[in-house]
């Protein structure tokens, strides 16, 4: 068992847009908390056709959404207004405080809420510490701020052991 297990995502997929939200709804999911940058759109980009369509579909499915970002309010607010979702900015991820606040605002609980993000040490670790099912997605765009680039190098190490452990479990 790897020492990195506490950082492992529950699900690791290529893109947010590959998640079967209709299936999650059937499994009892009532809310989704999303990171924004490199999870839904490239860092700093406005909402695009895919993200607008996704939030429209989630609304039609009756799944509540919340944007949870460590970014400043102007960035988060402008994106939130485009996709028509409530938001929490300067969230302090991986602290559990605002994951819990997001669920309070959506009226959901750990068992019926999932989290989707692109970073292990903030997004996924915070979701896991809160008791949420986590989806780690590959970053949409490789151009990132230097502090994120450094974290990505460390994430590669954790993901190496994650994939190795996953392969071992499949052999059993």
Count structural domains, the chain.
Answer: 1
- Which structural domain range is residue 42 located in? 5-171
Name residues whose C-beta falls within 8 Å of residue 9's C-beta, 6 or more positions apart in sequence.
Answer: 120, 124, 134, 135, 136, 162
What pTM was computed for the model?
A: 0.89
Domain containing residue 17: CATH number: 3.40.50.1000
Q: CB within 8 A of 75, min separation 6: which ones?
A: 36, 37, 44, 69, 89
Determine the pLDDT at residue 132: 98
Distance CA 24, CA 150 (A): 33
Instruction: Encode pLDDT of 20-32 as tens digits.
Output: 999 999 999 999 9
What does the pLDDT read at residue 144?
A: 58
> pLDDT below 70 — which residues of the chain?
1-2, 142-150
Q: Give 9-13's long-range contacts (Cβ < 8 A, gap of 24+).
A: 9/120, 9/124, 9/134, 9/135, 9/136, 9/162, 10/128, 10/133, 10/134, 10/135, 11/133, 11/134, 11/135, 11/136, 12/135, 12/136, 12/159, 12/162, 13/135, 13/136, 13/137, 13/138
Per-residue model confidence (pLDDT) at position 76: 97
pLDDT tens digits, 12-58: 999 999 999 999 999 999 999 999 999 999 989 999 999 999 999 99
């Amino acid at each position: 068992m790897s020492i990195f297990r506490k950082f492992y995502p529950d699900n690791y997929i290529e893109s947010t847009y590959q998640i079967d939200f209709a299936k999650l709804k059937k499994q009892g999911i009532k809310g989704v908390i999303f990171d924004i940058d490199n999870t839904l759109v490239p860092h700093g980009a406005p909402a695009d056709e895919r993200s607008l369509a996704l939030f429209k579909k989630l609304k039609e499915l009756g799944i509540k959404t919340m944007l949870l970002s460590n970014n400043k309010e102007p960035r988060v607010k402008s994106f939130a207004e485009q996709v028509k979702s409530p938001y929490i900015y300067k969230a302090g991820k991986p602290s559990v405080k605002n994951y819990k606040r997001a669920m309070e605002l959506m009226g959901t609980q750990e068992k019926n809420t999932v989290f989707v993000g692109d970073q292990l040490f903030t997004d996924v670790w915070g979701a896991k510490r809160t008791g949420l099912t986590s989806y780690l997605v590959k970053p949409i765009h490789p151009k990132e701020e230097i502090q994120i680039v450094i974290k990505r190098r460390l994430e590669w190490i954790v993901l190496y052991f994650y994939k190795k452990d996953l392969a071992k479990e499949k052999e059993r």
